[in-house]
Chain A
Amino acid sequence: MKQLKRILHVEDVPSIQVVTRIALEKLGGFEVLSCQSGQAALDQVQAFAPDLILLDVMLPQMDGIELVRQLADLVDLQQTPVVFLTGHLQPERLQELRQLGVRQVLGKPFDPLQLATQLRQIWEAEHG
């Protein structure tokens, strides 16, 4: 079974980016690439080849859904689960995201102590 190791994290707020990255690295032992914008993620996703992509839906310039669409062109989202971190999302949008291959939507604010465990559970639900 493939282990969850590499996580592409897209978050525009630097402080949250830092906290999230540390939580994932320290508590999950993951290799994390933090991107501050959707464009940066698109630029680096192929080079980084993540096992899982963690997205903040409310991104400037490009919202999370648009980003997922464009990511789908670059990587196989069936193999690379996308997890959303968001405070508010309408159910019909969730439906749309699922069709695009989004596996899970986690509420915000998230508990940094639980985040790594949650992601691992999602991963294991697919690969376990």
Chain B
Amino acid sequence: MESPQQSTTPMPSTAQPRELSRLAALLRYEILDTPEDSAFDDFTALAAQMCDTPIALISLVDDRRQWFKSRVGLDVSETSREISFCTYTIAGDEIFEVPDTLQDPRFCNNPLVLGEPHIRFYAGTPLTSPDGYNLGTLCVIDRQPRRLSPEQRETLERLGRQVIRLFEQHLLAHRHAEQAALQQAILDSASSAVLVTRPDGVVTSVNPTAERLLGYSEQALVGHPLTAALFRPEALQRRALLLSSELQVPVEADFSVLSAPLHRGRRDMSEWRLRHQNGNEVPVLLGVSAIHDEQEHLRGYLVNAYDLAYQEQLQLRLQQIAAQVPGMLFQFHWRADGPACFPYVSEGVEQIYGLSPGQLAGSFAPIVGRVHGPDRSALLISIRKAASELTPWHSEHRVEHPHKGLIWVEARATPLQQADGSVLWHGFVTDITARKAEQLELDKQQEMNRRLLEALSEAVIACDAEGNLTLFNEKAKQWHGADVAPLSPSEWAHHYRLYRADGVTPLEPEEIPLRRALNGEHVIDHEMVLLSNGAPRHVLSNADPLYTSDGQRMGAVVVLHDITERKRIERLQREFISTVSHELRTPLTSITGALALICSNVMGEVPESMHELLEIAQQNSQRLSALIDDLLDMDKLHAGKMRFDMLEQPLQPQLELALRSNGSYAERHGVQLHLGACPPVNVTVDAMRLQQVLSNLLSNAAKFSPAGERVELSAQVSDGRVRVSVRDQGPGISDEFRARVFQKFAQADSSDSRQQGGTGLGLAISKELIEHMGGQIGFESEPSQGACFWFELPIQGQAKESP
């Protein structure tokens, strides 16, 4: 051992790597700034006593100070490292002794030497950890110079080693406490109930989950045999018997039923029903494992109880739900390279596949066996595809059900990729045979409808509620020379070349029948022209809005009926009538002329006997002439060739003229024509046509009036119009005839027509004429109270009320 005087080493450095490791070692003991501890104080007291010094310290040196874990004869708990003696001690491996500080140049100016505690003597032994770090010192201090005896030095070193051992113990105890706290925390937070027993099965510890699950407090269980407290004896006996035969050794009906199986392996799982404190039974899955110490001695058992009640409840709920589902619920495990299986299927598997869950036993093959042969490969392909893409699986396939025969089922499932690459599906299968049948029926119906539409000689076009065209049947395509196009209704007329009946004016969008129907209108027999495909095609459109069964507007449909041919025939008919009429007119003129001459006796007195026949011939030729005239007028009106020489003129002279012109005709019927009130108004008319209308109305009135009655012609002003009325005392207009009065060839009673004469065109022509002159025609009649035919014309110039 060297003398301290020889040591002239400077203050040891604190920044070397070795010093950092030393500090880490010191911190590991977690002893700095801990409370006083009598175990350490014993050593300082012993050191002071043995070395006969007033001061002894256990000093720990960290990066900036020395801290005293234990001290004798000193009040301060720490001093700065720069002035510390111990820094020198820990730099070496042996006792560091300073016999007289005032003689030592390193310490003669040290404040601890010059001031309190006036150190003159110092001796310290390093406290060296098992891994070789000097953590601090055990040191003794005196206020006078001196030296330690060899015995004292040895004692100080021994004591220093004991202090280190105490550090080690301290550290170990700390570690144990931590471990225990961790174990307790794990136990307490375990979601399963945990009970710890001694090797003989007596409970030593219980976690809160176990208290909750079983209803006993920890105190109520600890110290009691586990099986006696929680297990029913019958159950233990049953299990004991079972195990005895299984293990070929006798097993007692006590804790052995739990521990005995462990001899076969490390852990045993079994289901039990434990007794709850309230007398109920708690279904659990028990896991028992043995606890061994390092020497492999059995220290007890760890008993884990997993609550099955919740799971049982879940299972029950699943079963109940599954039972309500019309079909089968399943969980399906699919591997690309191994056998697929059903971890779960509901009872519905019977209903769908005619298999009981027992028959199925989780395997896939029986199900595939039930799938209708032709559908099998597509089914497997679809599963594989959905599994590889992890997309929801949907399949409709047929099943050969042992009782129901061939049924249609629909299956859906969602894939869940498993860690091992397999796929777990959750899904359901339902019987859709009925729906499928309906679907097939519907398809058939639709096919039928489609064929009907195609077979129609009408064009059918439909659109949805938004006005998107959805249907053109074959005829519609043909007539339009086009198919459904994505157009807005405002573009239809232009795109499909729709024209008014005249064939030259394009339809305005709001005139298009389909569009009108889309707005809720019922369009009946609207005539229009399609120009899309060659020659103009005249069609009648009938359009209707379409509604769903609950009254929602779902679109509109229009049916186009081709009347081009009818129009052509009508034109031919008109031309024919026109030609024939013209041809007939000339000979008729000769006949009527000749007859008129004969009857007027110009050619000499006609014998009495001929009068009657001549009369018949003359009347009928006149009637024929009138008919021809009417036909030609009608033709002209239709063809738009009737000329109207409109001239503003007073009304009254026209009425007077009509009265004069028809007077003789009325007289022949024994009827008197009478002119009633007539306001002094002007009308703009073609006088000849007005006369034609008046003649028609007056002659009709005369014709239908009983002899001796009178027919009154009159006019009244109202609302800027003048109404001219012809009132008779005839039989009136019957209800059946009312609607047809102004139709062509309408006569009240065809059996009557020969007697009454007339062409049946008069009123139809009158209506056309009045309307052409801006007026309206109509009638009022009560059966058997006469009839009043009237027409109204706009008044020109000043209008005065009739006097």
Contact = CB atoms under 8 A, between A and B. Distances in A.
Interface of A: 13, 15-16, 18-20, 22-23, 26-27, 87, 90-91, 108-113
B596 A113 contact: yes
Contacts of B591: 15
A15 B585 CA distance: 12
Given A16-B593, A91-B645, A111-B596, A22 B603 contact: yes
Given A22-B603, A23-B602, A112 B593 contact: yes
A23 to B, nearest CB: 6
B594 A19 contact: yes
Nearest to A19: B593
A109 B625 contact: yes
Contacts of B448: none
Contact of B597 (A13, A16, A26, A108): A26
Contacts of B602: 22-23, 26-27
A90 B641 CA distance: 12
A79 to B, nearest CB: 29
Given A26-B602, A111-B596, A112-B597, 14 more contacts: A13-B590, A15-B586, A16-B586, A16-B590, A22-B603, A23-B597, A23-B602, A26-B603, A87-B585, A108-B589, A110-B593, A112-B594, A113-B597, A113-B600
Nearest to B598: A22
Contacts of A20: 593
Contacts of B597: 19, 22-23, 26-27, 112-113
Residue from B591, B593, B597, B643 whose CB has the most chain A CB atoms within 10 Å: B593
Contacts of B593: 16, 19-20, 23, 109-110, 112
B633 to A, nearest CB: 12
Nearest to B586: A13
13 contacts: A15-B586, A16-B589, A18-B594, A19-B593, A22-B594, A22-B603, A26-B597, A26-B603, A90-B643, A109-B592, A109-B625, A112-B593, A113-B600
Interface string B585-624: 1111111111011001011000000000000000000000
A57 B589 CA distance: 16
- By CB atoms of chain B within 10 A, which of A13, A22, A23, A109 has the most? A109
A22 B593 CA distance: 10
Contacts of A13: 586, 590
Contacts of A16: 586, 589-590, 593
A109 B590 CA distance: 9
What band does the interface of chain B fall in when counting residues whose beta carbon is under 8 Å from A?
10 to 19
A73 B596 CA distance: 37
Contacts of B585: 87, 109
A16 B602 CA distance: 17
Contacts of B603: 22, 26
A109 B596 contact: no
Interface in B547-587: 585-587
Closest 10 CB pairs of A and B: A15-B590, A19-B593, A26-B602, A112-B593, A109-B589, A19-B594, A16-B590, A112-B596, A113-B596, A13-B586
Contacts of B596: 111-113
Interface string B619-654: 000000100000000000000000101000000000
Given A27-B602, A112-B596, A112-B597, A19 B645 contact: no
Contacts of A113: 596-597, 600
Nearest to B643: A90
B193 to A, nearest CB: 120
Contacts of A15: 586-587, 590-591, 594
A111 B5 CA distance: 178
Contacts of A19: 589-590, 593-594, 597
Contacts of B589: 16, 19, 108-110
A91 to B, nearest CB: 7
A113 B589 CA distance: 13
Nearest to B632: A87
Nearest to B641: A88
B81 to A, nearest CB: 140
Nearest to A88: B643
Contacts of A18: 590, 594
Nearest to A90: B643
Nearest to B600: A113
A23 B587 CA distance: 16
